[in-house]
Chain A
Amino acid sequence: MALHDHGLLYSADTDSGIDKDVVDELIRRSGCKITVNVMPRARIWQLIESGALDFSLSGISNGERSKFASFAWYFSNKYYLLVRKDSEVHSLADFSGNNRLRLGVIRSFRYSDSANQLVDRLQEAGRISQSSGLAPLYQALMLNQIQGMIIEPFDYPTVEENKIRERTAIIEFNDPAVPHGLIMSKKALPLDEQEKWRALVQEMRSDGTLRRIFEKYFQPALAAAMVGY
């Protein structure tokens, strides 16, 4: 199992987060010994594809990924564009229409449809700064090296820090919430194994375990919305 350092999902500094809690619960329920590593998201997808890595968490699917990975969904969330106030961006069109603005993204990350379209369009125009982690993007945003980045609810605590909150605004992508789940490598796990893990995750949803994990990090209403999609 590999985790990536990303806001409330997992913090390597404190070795804690939603994904860590979910892994601990999976280990407890399955009785399996699972070795947990931390690595960049792009590396995780490469290893899942090759079969060298069995699991990761909080993954979203797309046409390409569904060829080599299977998913057990357990929460969904929306995506938001975090922009510098002084960039005078009030809509998604404002951002894509201003050639001086750069967007920071985490390499290999995919989002909701319109967010993906924005990223792909800016990539072609050479207006993307890639990062292998989330933390540098906040720093780059504060230094005005980038003017926007895409965030998820897991990033709220960081965004709520005074120096960031005062200088940024949030624009919502008008897409439905995107399901996230346990990522299973098709090469590493046979179909019946995948089904067992999917059933385990479903059990964690049904008995309220996942909701309780999310409530440790979010307001109850948001936690319920995320796991009760």
Chain B
Amino acid sequence: MGVRTIFLPLLILVVALGITWLAWNHEHQVSRVGLRSQFDSSLREAASRIEQRMAAYEQILRGVQGLLATTGMFDRSALRDYVNTIQLDTNYAGIQAIGVVELVPSQRKDGHISAMRRLGFVDYEIHPEGPRDVYAPIIQREPYFGRNRARLGFDPWSDPVRRLAMEKARDSSMAALSGKVRLTIDAEVDAPPSFVMYLPLFAQGQPHGSVTQRRAHLAGWVYIAFRMSDFMASLYGTLPQGLTLAIFDDVDLSEAALLYRSAEDSARRQRPAEDLLTANEYLVAAGHTWTLSMSTLPEFETRFGHDAASVIAMAGTGLSLLVALLAWMMVTGRVRVQRLAAAMTEELRHLAQHDSLTGLPNRALFSDRLNHELVRAKRHGEHFALIFLDLDNFKLINDNFGHAVGDLVLQQIALRLRDSIRASDTVGRIGGDEFVVLMPELPESNDALGLAEKIRQAVRQPIAIDDRELVMSCSLGVAIYPDDGTDEIALTKNADTAMYQAKENGRDSVRRNTSDKPTSARVLTGS
């Protein structure tokens, strides 16, 4: 039973915890997939916003390209008016400058410089200096104020990073982005990361359907210069909370190639990266690749992770313990109930066999013991005595002092009877004021009379109840086995007769029936 009381609840606990783990694990996986999906969608959205914004800027540049294809690249007022009209500062905050680059073969260099100086740029020079086959100086930059008033004449063709984009734009006739550059208008050493978008300008009226034609009739470029931080600030929408974004030029993830880093990304880099979701996306915009590197912060998980897993874990563990406890209570409860039932059965048995007032064996138990003793005495050839005891005038006690006092008297008498007999003797109560005593194993027949006398004297001792002293007496009738009978009926009749003889002879005495026939007979059992 002990093993079972532990094993079953333990088994239930293990199974319930197992189910909890399965549910937790499932929910955890679902949550991770959901979180990953949210993360992927955020990365896709960020890439899409950059692409869309880039496309919008490309349209601006296409507008400039179309304008200059119509007016020619030397109509400086056309570009100025165009930029003023589109309200660059308000609508296109990412743009630092829109400009024009003229393709100048080396043989036209001097004439080009003279022409520019005649326009009022008195100190105009192509820089960096030095002889080259082809020059491609910036000849106009709008809006022409602030930093944009920096010296014209810078030759982006001389810079390999810019030149690559210019060549791409020329050959494809499409917009091309440069890699990470420092803008010429930024003089400071730690200038912010920037990039340039180019579109080609072809000689008016000349075909440019093929790469060869484009190379042959290239006249220059229009460009937009961007500061990366301004470009990012000009995007519509913001990153969801808890995400960090870094953008690198090309697929190089080194600090040297870093174009942009969100404020949160700097914070993330100071923390261990375990458990964070990270992904790179390669974005090809205007023929150039940027790598978007996105990561999550713990806030992202808090915000978007439906953390039912921990609730399931806690609730499941709690319920598992509760169910196991319940099972333990049910198993051990059965044992407790069985014990209680046994105790109650025992109590019922005692009640069935004993007198409730005095606690002495009742008629049924006494009869049982008497029959037992008859069998025993017969087998061993022994003597035993049956004594009937009736209190004298007990009715007067009830009448004069009430039944409560009567009951107390009966209890006192029962105590005295118990104290007067031997350990092997049995005293029982079979009626209102009638008691019986069974005395087994009597060495001599007269021993019974002596014992009965002792009982009579004990009963005569005064009884103190409620400051009152009562003196009781009793009449006793003795029957000896086998002299006065060899069965229950005969012995009972003789003891009863003897007791009535004692009553008839003045009460308060002990008698043994000496006549051949009893004057009256009562059967101990069954009355």
Q: Which residues of A contact B (CB under 8 A)?
A: 5, 12-15, 38, 40, 43, 104, 107, 123-124, 126, 128-133, 135-137, 139-140, 143, 145
Contact = CB atoms under 8 A, between A and B. Distances in A.
Contacts of B285: 132
Interface string B277-313: 1011111110101010000000000000000000000
B250 A139 contact: yes
A12 B174 contact: yes
A150 B277 CA distance: 24
Contacts of A107: 44, 47, 281
A102 B36 CA distance: 15
B174 A38 contact: yes
B423 to A, nearest CB: 87
A126 B34 CA distance: 12
Contact of A135 (B33, B39, B210, B284): B284
The 7 nearest A-B residue pairs measured at CB = A133-B284, A136-B282, A131-B282, A136-B289, A139-B251, A12-B172, A132-B284
6 contacts: A107-B44, A126-B39, A131-B284, A137-B282, A139-B250, A139-B251
Contacts of B168: 13
Interface string B405-448: 00000000000000000000000000000000000000000000
Among B173, B252, B282, B289, the one with the most A-chain Cβ atoms within 10 Å of its Cβ is: B282
B253 interface: yes
A126 B279 contact: yes
Contacts of B289: 133, 135-136, 139
Contact of A136 (B171, B172, B174, B251): B251
A13 B171 contact: yes
Among B33, B171, B210, B289, the one with the most A-chain Cβ atoms within 10 Å of its Cβ is: B289
A33 B171 CA distance: 23
A145 B280 contact: yes
Given A40-B51, A129-B282, A143-B251, A12 B287 contact: yes
Given A12-B174, A12-B287, A38-B174, A126 B36 contact: yes
B173 A132 contact: no
Contact of B211 (A15, A43, A129, A140): A15
Contact of A124 (B33, B43, B173, B277): B33
A129 B172 contact: no
A124 B172 contact: no
B392 interface: no
B40 interface: yes
Contact of A140 (B36, B172, B282): B282
Given A123-B40, A139-B251, A145-B251, A14 B171 contact: yes
A191 B8 CA distance: 71
A129 B278 CA distance: 10
B455 to A, nearest CB: 99
Among B173, B210, B291, the one with the most A-chain Cβ atoms within 10 Å of its Cβ is: B291
B280 A129 contact: yes
Given A107-B44, A124-B36, A133-B284, 12 more contacts: A14-B171, A123-B40, A126-B39, A130-B43, A130-B282, A131-B283, A132-B283, A132-B285, A136-B282, A139-B250, A140-B282, A143-B251
Interface string B454-483: 000000000000000000000000000000
A136 B44 contact: no
B281 A129 contact: yes
A121 to B, nearest CB: 12
A128 B281 CA distance: 9
A14 to B, nearest CB: 6
A15 B253 contact: no
B250 A130 contact: no
Contacts of A139: 250-251, 289
Contacts of B39: 126
A15 B51 CA distance: 21
Contacts of B40: 123
A185 to B, nearest CB: 20
Contacts of B277: 126
Among B253, B280, B287, the one with the most A-chain Cβ atoms within 10 Å of its Cβ is: B280
Given A107-B44, A133-B289, A140-B251, A40 B284 contact: yes
Contact of A15 (B210, B283, B291): B210
A198 B168 CA distance: 35
Interface string B502-513: 000000000000
A132 to B, nearest CB: 5
A224 to B, nearest CB: 29
A156 to B, nearest CB: 21
A146 to B, nearest CB: 9
Interface string B176-217: 000000000000000000000000000000000011000000
B162 to A, nearest CB: 17
A136 B211 contact: no
Nearest to A134: B284
Contacts of A128: 279
Nearest to B214: A15
Interface string B203-235: 000000011000000000000000000000000
B515 to A, nearest CB: 113
A107 B44 CA distance: 9
Nearest to A37: B174
A129 B279 contact: yes
Nearest to B283: A132
Nearest to B278: A126
Interface in B29-84: 33, 36, 39-40, 43-44, 47, 51
Nearest to B210: A15
A137 B282 CA distance: 8
A132 B291 contact: no
Contacts of A123: 40
B284 A15 contact: no
A145 B39 CA distance: 19
B280 A15 contact: no
B282 A132 contact: yes
A137 B39 CA distance: 21
A131 B36 CA distance: 18
Contact of B172 (A13, A43, A133): A13
A106 to B, nearest CB: 9
Contacts of B51: 40, 43, 132
